[in-house]
Chain A
Amino acid sequence: MYAWIFRHLPGPLWVRILTSALLIGGALVLLFQYLFPWINELTNVSSNTIGLILL
């Protein structure tokens, strides 16, 4: 799958490497800024209070 994506990226090799790096970076930003905070709210895994249910 990833090889297929890499083959279908436009441009010479160095452009494709650069594009891949940007795509991976973008995916990391999405994970860190949106997905992980959302999962964190769902799971309550780091709650630290007494007698309160954090929603």
Chain B
Amino acid sequence: MAATRTAARRAAERGSDRPHGRRRPARGAFALQVLGELLLTVGAIVVLFVVWQLWWTNVEADARQGAVVREFAQEIQAPAQPPATPAPTPPDYGPAPVPEGFANGDVIGVMYIPRFGENYTRPVLEGVGRDVLDTLGLGHYPMTTLPGAPGNFALAGHRQTHGAVLDNIDQLQPGDRIYLQTRDAYYTYVFRNSEIVLPTATDILLPVPHAANATPTESLLTLTTCHPRYGNQQRFIAYSVLDSWQPASAGPPAEIAARVAAAMGGS
């Protein structure tokens, strides 16, 4: 008798937990619910794609680029220390050497741009395909000249995603120094000017930008990236001129000596 009453109370409680019971919803309502959940899922995936582009590609690319710099550091000799008291007049080393023989994906060197931050150290590789630009770093347009030669050493890099190697390109001030370390030498470029062009403006890659058939007298470094930030409609172009160079045996230029030691000494 008592057991039956308890069971009856339990049943009543269960009933009161779900005042409307578990009515099986109509088939149409269920389909509508599934559709709604699928649409919400699509929305979440779109948001996640933006998260992937603006965050995860940078995490991945930073790791890969750090690894490329470390490999490069292992390949070259430990950098010589710059002399404690620099010579009053910098020695003249003659014409700058021109490295050559790079296939797609080969490391040309490491770039240091103090304006972009204390630790800005990015690899420079041959080629401007996705394989290079999306993870490895700055890519060299293969049809342009290599550093040291008269003409236009042109590089491409991402602005916002995949390492965001050139995010701060609009912060460059005329006179800023940009350093390139190759296996044999340090090249010092000085930023001159910038412009914003359409993606079709291939004449900025000419030996003398915008001047077909002109004979180059300067060694230019041209950086190209997306413009505006988060956009893809234009390209931001930054021109720098080769100012000086020194052989690797002379050690890195004083401004980047600590940074080079940090980047190369880890090996």
Contact = CB atoms under 8 A, between A and B. Distances in A.
B161 A46 contact: yes
A1 B48 contact: no
A52 interface: yes
Size class of the contact patch on chain B:
35 or more
A46 B235 contact: no
A23 B207 CA distance: 54
Interface in B164-216: 166, 197, 199-202, 204-205
B138 to A, nearest CB: 11
Interface residues of A, number: 19
A18 interface: no
B226 A48 contact: yes
Given A46-B161, A46-B232, A48-B225, A31 B202 contact: no
Given A28-B48, A48-B224, A51-B201, A2 B156 contact: no
Contact of B37 (A2, A44, A46, A52): A2
Contacts of B38: 1
**Interface of A, helix, strand, loop or mixed by DSSP:** loop
Contacts of A28: 48
A54 B129 CA distance: 7
Given A50-B204, A51-B199, A1 B52 contact: no
Interface of A: 1-2, 28, 31-32, 36, 39-41, 44-52, 54
Cβ-closest 10 pairs across A and B: A51-B202, A36-B52, A1-B34, A48-B226, A49-B156, A1-B37, A46-B161, A49-B128, A48-B225, A50-B224
